[in-house]
């Protein structure tokens, strides 16, 4: 009962203050989903308030979706529904956004590079040259593994020919890579480990395979190894899914030490590692040298998944994976069952684009352009959100992961709604946890869809909403 105690101020109606207090308890999980709230009489006595004040506070909680009244039984806290409701509302927002119906917003939710910098003329040139060279041949199904020359080219340009090109499988984007690897490897009730927080698109896939998902917190240089070892001691683990650079959403990159330790653990405990290398082309910090975990992998423990959205085109859906020999057949079958094969013409176009080294110029350009935005946004956050958020600059990638400081009493879902009203879109942290109520103190903002001008405007709006909210819903210490 003690948690319901609060000091009232004179600025607002008492029922509003009580409502805000209870809502904040529900948000922070200090009142659990489904927990019965005190009866009206009980709470009125405890807080020395008129019953009408309690009734009005409870009514407002109901109206806002934070409580349910069950006739003859009482009032119950409602939590998860609001998150489910939020997820629905979030996804509708993005359907509108992607269909161009929200074109004037400041979109900080972008997950990938923008096509703006892409040299359309280069693409036209390779498409035409491929069609002239190969004719109808370019339009038929490929080898299940993908266009052979493209696999050779990947081996040459990214792996110094150290792989066997028949170990490379072309997929329709990294998301498909995660999906087909899961279908090949993960069965009902298999134990798998993910980082906490992690990429929501991967979480959904693992949930859909009905796997048991263990989450291990992420630290500044990668996953918490001690927490991981505790799980490994007690459970037979099938695989560990992680992102080696600029982890989504935490923006953490793995130290080489942690990469090597993880490989040792995989060998010792006989599990496999899915490395999602989704953004390593964009390293702005010159002291960081790129090396994938796959490149350390002597015992064939790593399934490496790579997207080409960055070096090629975001909307074109081509990526590849490199898979331990032991899974080769099952992963190939899984690919066939998923979509037979990846668009053949685009594979040939990509091969030629790589052969002509257009991609190197393109990546250089992206690094210049995005580093500019990165630096600008970092400074803006430091200057304008300093008192409202905490964060670690990632040194690369396309986004920042911000933690709301304690003085901010709204959670990131509320922040999402309030910002959306003002034309700014952010991604609340709740998207990245197995239990959605975690991550409410976090939100992600990315700069791939916004230039410096929009970044400044957007951060200004976030800043003004946060300082406003810190004042209005500020609940005095109790």
Contacts 24+ apart (CB under 8 A), 186-189: 186/211, 186/238, 186/239, 187/211
Question: Between residue 294 and residue 333, which ones bind a copy of itself under the rule CB under 8 A?
Answer: 313-317, 333
Count of beta carbons in the 10 Å neighbourhood of residue 235: 14
Are 331 and 323 in contact, with CB atoms under 8 Å apart? yes
Q: Who contacts 32 (Cβ-Cβ below 8 Å, separation ≥6)?
A: 77, 79
Q: Is residue 248 a contact point for a copy of itself (CB under 8 A)?
A: no
> Which helix or strand (DSSP H or E) is residue 401 part of?
strand 399-404
Q: Is residue 345 a contact point for a copy of itself (CB under 8 A)?
A: yes
Nearest to 251 by CA among 60, 381, 70: 381
The b/e string for 66-85 (b: 16+ C-beta within 10 A; e otherwise) is bbbeeeeebbbbbbeebbee
Shortest separation between residue 341's beta carbon and a copy of itself, angstroms: 7
DSSP 445-472: EE-TT--HHHHHHHHHHHHHHHHHHHHH
Q: Which residue lies nearer to a copy of itself by CB, 189 or 255?
A: 189
Shortest separation between residue 95's beta carbon and a copy of itself, angstroms: 6
Q: Which residue lies nearer to a copy of itself by CB, 203 or 455?
A: 203
Q: Is residue 24 a contact point for a copy of itself (CB under 8 A)?
A: no
Place of tokens 């203050």: 17
Question: Between residue 183 and residue 212, which ones bind a copy of itself under the rule CB under 8 A?
Answer: 183, 188, 201, 204-205, 208, 210
Distance separating alpha carbons of residues 161 and 135, to the nearest angstrom: 29
Q: Is residue 152 a contact point for a copy of itself (CB under 8 A)?
A: no
Q: Is residue 241 a contact point for a copy of itself (CB under 8 A)?
A: no
Shortest separation between residue 130's beta carbon and a copy of itself, angstroms: 10
Q: Who contacts 396 (Cβ-Cβ below 8 Å, separation ≥6)?
A: 245, 246, 253, 279, 280, 282, 283, 284, 285, 288, 374
φ, ψ dihedrals at 445, nearest 5°: -130, 130
Exactly one of 53, 75, 109, 142 binds a copy of itself (CB under 8 A); which one? Answer: 142
Q: Is residue 104 a contact point for a copy of itself (CB under 8 A)?
A: no
Q: Is residue 249 a contact point for a copy of itself (CB under 8 A)?
A: no
Q: By CB under 8 A, which span of 11-19, 176-184, 245-253, 430-438 interacts with a copy of itself?
A: 176-184
As to burial, measured by CB atoms within 10 angstroms (0-12 exposed, 13-18 middle, 19+ buried), residue 224 is middle
Q: Which residue lies nearer to a copy of itself by CB, 337 or 392?
A: 337
Q: By CB under 8 A, which span of 76-84, 112-120, 251-259, 418-426 interacts with a copy of itself?
A: 112-120
Q: How many residues bind a copy of itself (CB under 8 A)?
A: 58
Distance separating alpha carbons of residues 4 and 407, to the nearest angstrom: 19
Q: Which residue lies nearer to a copy of itself by CB, 98 or 477?
A: 98
Exactly one of 48, 73, 120, 287 binds a copy of itself (CB under 8 A); which one? Answer: 120
Q: Is residue 137 a contact point for a copy of itself (CB under 8 A)?
A: yes
Exactly one of 15, 86, 108, 118 binds a copy of itself (CB under 8 A); which one? Answer: 118
Shortest separation between residue 100's beta carbon and a copy of itself, angstroms: 8
Distance separating alpha carbons of residues 400 and 170, to the nearest angstrom: 30
Q: Is residue 338 a contact point for a copy of itself (CB under 8 A)?
A: yes
Nearest to 130 by CA among 284, 354, 341: 354
Shortest separation between residue 26's beta carbon and a copy of itself, angstroms: 26
Q: Is residue 135 a contact point for a copy of itself (CB under 8 A)?
A: yes
Question: Between residue 78 and residue 97, which ones bind a copy of itself under the rule CB under 8 A?
Answer: 91, 94-95
Question: Between residue 253 and residue 292, which ones bind a copy of itself under the rule CB under 8 A?
Answer: none
- Interacting residue ranges for a copy of itself, rule: CB under 8 A: 91, 94-95, 98-99, 112, 114-116, 118, 120, 123-124, 127-128, 131, 135-145, 148, 172-173, 175-176, 179, 183, 188, 201, 204-205, 208, 210, 313-317, 333-334, 336-346
């Amino acid at each position: 009962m003690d948690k319901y105690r609060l000091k009232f101020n004179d600025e607002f109606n008492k029922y509003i203050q009580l409502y805000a207090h209870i809502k904040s308890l529900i948000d922070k999980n200090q009142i659990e989903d489904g927990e019965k709230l005190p009866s009206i009489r009980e709470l009125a006595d405890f807080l020395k308030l008129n019953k009408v004040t309690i009734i009005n506070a409870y009514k407002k909680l109901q109206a806002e979706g934070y409580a349910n009244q069950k006739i003859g039984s009482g009032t119950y806290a409602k939590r998860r529904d609001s998150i489910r409701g939020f997820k629905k509302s979030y996804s509708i927002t993005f359907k509108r956004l992607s269909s161009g119906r929200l074109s004037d917003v400041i979109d900080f939710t972008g997950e990938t590079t923008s096509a703006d910098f892409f040299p359309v003329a280069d693409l036209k040139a390779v498409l035409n040259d491929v069609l002239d060279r190969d004719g109808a041949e370019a339009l038929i199904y490929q080898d299940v593994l993908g266009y052979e020359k493209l696999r050779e080219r990947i081996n040459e340009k990214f792996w110094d020919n150290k792989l066997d090109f028949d170990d490379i499988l072309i997929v329709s984007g990294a998301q498909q890579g995660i999906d087909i690897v899961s279908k090949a490897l993960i069965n009902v009730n298999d134990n798998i480990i993910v980082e906490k927080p992690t990429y929501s698109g991967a979480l959904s896939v693992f949930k859909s395979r009905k796997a048991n998902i263990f989450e291990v917190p992420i630290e500044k240089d990668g996953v918490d190894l001690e927490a991981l070892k505790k799980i490994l001691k007690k459970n037979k683990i099938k695989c560990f899914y992680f992102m080696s650079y600029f982890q989504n959403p935490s923006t953490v990159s793995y130290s080489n030490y942690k990469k090597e330790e993880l490989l040792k653990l995989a060998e010792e405990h006989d599990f496999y590692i899915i490395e999602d290398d989704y953004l390593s082309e964009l390293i702005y910090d010159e002291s960081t040298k790129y090396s994938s975990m796959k490149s350390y992998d002597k015992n064939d423990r790593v399934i490496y998944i790579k997207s080409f959205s960055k070096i090629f085109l975001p909307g074109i859906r081509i990526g590849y994976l490199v898979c331990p020999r032991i899974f080769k057949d099952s992963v190939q079958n899984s690919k066939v069952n998923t979509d037979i094969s990846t668009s053949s013409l685009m594979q040939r176009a990509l091969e030629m684009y790589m052969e002509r080294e257009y991609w190197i110029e393109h990546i250089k350009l992206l690094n210049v352009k995005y580093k500019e935005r990165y630096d600008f946004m970092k400074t803006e956050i430091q200057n304008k959100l300093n008192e409202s958020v905490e964060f670690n600059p990632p040194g690369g990638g396309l986004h920042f992961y911000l933690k709301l400081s304690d003085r901010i009493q709204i959670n990131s879902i509320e922040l999402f709604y309030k910002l959306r009203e003002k034309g700014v879109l952010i991604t609340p942290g709740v998207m990245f946890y197995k239990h959605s109520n975690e991550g409410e103190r976090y939100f992600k903002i990315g700069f791939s869809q916004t230039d410096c001008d929009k970044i400044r405007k957007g951060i200004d709006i976030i800043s003004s909403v946060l300082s406003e909210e810190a004042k209005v819903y500020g609940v005095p210490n109790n």
